[in-house]
Amino acid sequence: MRNAERTLPALLALALACLACDATETDDARHGTPAGGDAPKEGHATRDLVGYGEELGGAVEIHPGIWQARGTANAQMVVTGEGNVVFDTGLLNQPRVQDELLAVDDGPVTHLVLSHAHADHYSAAGDFIQDGTEVIAHPEFLHNQRYLKELAPTLMARNAIFFPEDTPAIPGVLMGAMKLVYPTVEPTRLVVDRHEFSVGGRRFEVIALPGAEGSDGLVLWMPEERILFTGDFFGHIFPMWPNLVTIRGERPRFPKPYVDSLDLVLELDPEILVPSHFEPIVGKDRIREGVTRTRDAVAWVEQAVIDGINDGKDVHALMREIRLPDRLAIPEVHGKVSWGVRSIYEAYLGWFRLRSSAELYGVAPWAVHAEVVEMAGGPDAVAERAARHLEQGRPVEALHLVDMALEASPRTRSALEVRLGALDRLLEAGDEVNHYETMWLKHRIRETRKALGTASG
């Protein structure tokens, strides 16, 4: 059974794959983590998600009657003899995953539970929805699905920076069409708190669990088996610092609902977590330790930001100063603590810093940078000062100055050279731990090298 969306031009469908997936081709967890964090030793490189599960040749029975088809994003099915319950669908453009799951059992799908409104978790819903299938999502799913669809042309272009190998080069003229082909699903039941049901003698509980992948998080709990299907609630590496803000662009996520949700997971006390990326995490103690550390790290950082704000510190100082204590260190392969700090600050206080009245109006600071550069003796003179910062180990200060110089004169060789040096330094310092930081810096390095090819001076 294939829905009409399967006939989408392959290019656009492939593009969808990357549009909302937080976890495609992200950085290698084995690179370790700063400040003494413990990246999973035998864990996956997140880039392993591409092509993941192909060699298995079919869905895996992870527990009696519970099947997982593995791909870039997984799909799960509980077979009961009186109907099947499906949790997450995998990607629309990865039909192998849906085929493998449907090959397990051809009974009716009584319930389809969607963990959240990212395309890698719901875009193949049409393959599982039959007459009478209850399609369950969180009320916020509708909101998230709508704005992600509305912004699809822009998010697609941004994603091309962070996931270049997975994102086909779509001509600008076709970008607008992303909105038209974006898959949507209409849930038949919205769960704002909890919803219990039984199928074939097996008990299920859908629980609203807003978290690090958004306000629309749902998980599926099987109380007798003590199995929790988590979607992206923990992301693709367990445990990891959550993506409280996505650099690729999405609305921010508040820390407190995530902390409350993590407390709820501790109350459930699961023995097996079944995330929709990579394989299950087994073991009560391991799960409890990882959940507790994630919860404590997020709560600690939130409190540090609040205290810092009340101490009158600015957001950049807090980004520099707030560091997790060693006991709470957690891999920063996806989100970064410093970005979380900024996200929390702005989520609570908004963008107005009460610093410059000009912030309130539609004229950017860089609108006058060319004038400042001219007064300072021109772009070469500014680049020379920037080079001093770089030599003295201050690449970000160097970037601020060369950005001004390049605003005045985009092809100034001396400024481009300093920019390249600063970007190289930052890339080296980051040690390619965080995927988004790494990909952004590499993108800018490529752009800068290209500009140097046509530079003047």
Cβ proximity to Zn ion, 27 vs 120, nearer residue? 120
Q: Which is nearer to Zn ion, 273 or 304 (CB)?
A: 273
CB of 217 to Zn ion, least distance (A): 11
C-beta closer to Zn ion: residue 33 or 74: 74
The least distance separating Zn ion from the CB of residue 362, rounded to whole angstroms, comes to 36
Give backbone dihedrals phi and psi of 442, rounded to 5 degrees, phi first.
-65, -40
Residues 194 to 233 in contact with Zn ion, rule: CB under 5 A = 232
State the DSSP string of 362-378. Answer: S--GGGGHHHHHHHTT-
Is 166 a binding residue for Zn ion by CB under 5 A? The answer is no
Least distance from Zn ion to the Cβ atom of residue 379, Å: 44
Which of 279, 28, 274, 236 has the alpha carbon at shortest distance from 120?
A: 236
Least distance to Zn ion from the beta carbon of 121, Å?
6
Task: For the segment 355-414, give every residue that binds Zn ion (CB under 5 A).
Answer: none
List 23, 85, 297, 398, residue binding Zn ion (CB under 5 A): 23
Binding mask 249-268 for Zn ion (x = CB under 5 A): --------------------
Size of the site for Zn ion (CB under 5 A): 4
Q: Please, where are the H alpha helices in 269-394?
A: 284-310, 315-321, 337-349, 369-375, 379-391
Asked if 259 contacts 348 with a C-beta cutoff of 8 angstroms, the reply is no
Closer to Zn ion at the Cβ: 217 or 290? 217
- C-alpha–C-alpha distance, residues 445 and 92, integer Å: 33
Q: How far is the CB of 24 from Zn ion (least distance, A)?
A: 8
Of residues 21 and 433, the one with the C-beta less far from Zn ion = 21
> Residue 208: beta bridge partners?
218
Name the DSSP class of 226.
T
Contact set for Zn ion, span 230-249 (CB under 5 A) = 232
Q: Which residue's CB is nearer to Zn ion, number 335 or number 421? A: 335
Closest approach of Zn ion to the CB of residue 72, in Å: 8
Cα-Cα-Cα-Cα torsion 206, 212, 215, 219, nearest 10 degrees, comes to -10
Q: Under a CB-based contact definition with an 8 Å cutoff, are residues 166 and 24 in contact?
A: yes
Residue 273's SS3 state is strand
**Which of the stretches 17-25, 249-257, 304-312, 351-359 binds Zn ion when contact is defined by CB under 5 A?**
17-25
Cα separation, 214 vs 194, in Å, equals 17
Q: How near is the Cβ of 46 to Zn ion at its closest, in Å?
A: 11
Residue placing its CB nearer to Zn ion in the complex, 229 or 345: 229
- Calpha distance 443→439 (Å, rounded): 6
Nearer to Zn ion, 294 or 412 (CB): 294
Site for Zn ion in 106-135 (CB under 5 A): 120
Q: Measured from the CB atom, is 86 or 422 closer to Zn ion?
A: 86
The secondary structure of residue 42, as a DSSP letter, is: S
Dig out the tokens for 115 from the structure: 């963990």
Question: Does residue 161 contact residue 439 with C-beta atoms inside 8 Å?
Answer: yes
Q: Of 47, 46, 66, 60, which is closest to residue 272 (Cα–Cα)?
A: 66
CA 297/CA 356 separation, integer angstroms: 33
On whether the CB atoms of residues 323 and 337 are closer than 8 A, the answer is yes
Shortest reach from residue 232's CB to Zn ion, in Å: 4
CB of 17 to Zn ion, least distance (A): 10
Q: For Zn ion, give the closer residue by CB, 21 or 439.
A: 21
- Phi/psi zone of residue 220: left (φ > 0), alpha (ψ -120 to 50 degrees), beta? beta
Question: Exposed e or buried b for every residue in 262-280, given b needs 16+ CB within 10 A?
Answer: bebbeebebbbbbbbbbeb
Least separation in angstroms between residue 73's CB and Zn ion is 5
3-state secondary structure of 277: coil
Binding site for Zn ion (CB under 5 A): 21, 23, 120, 232
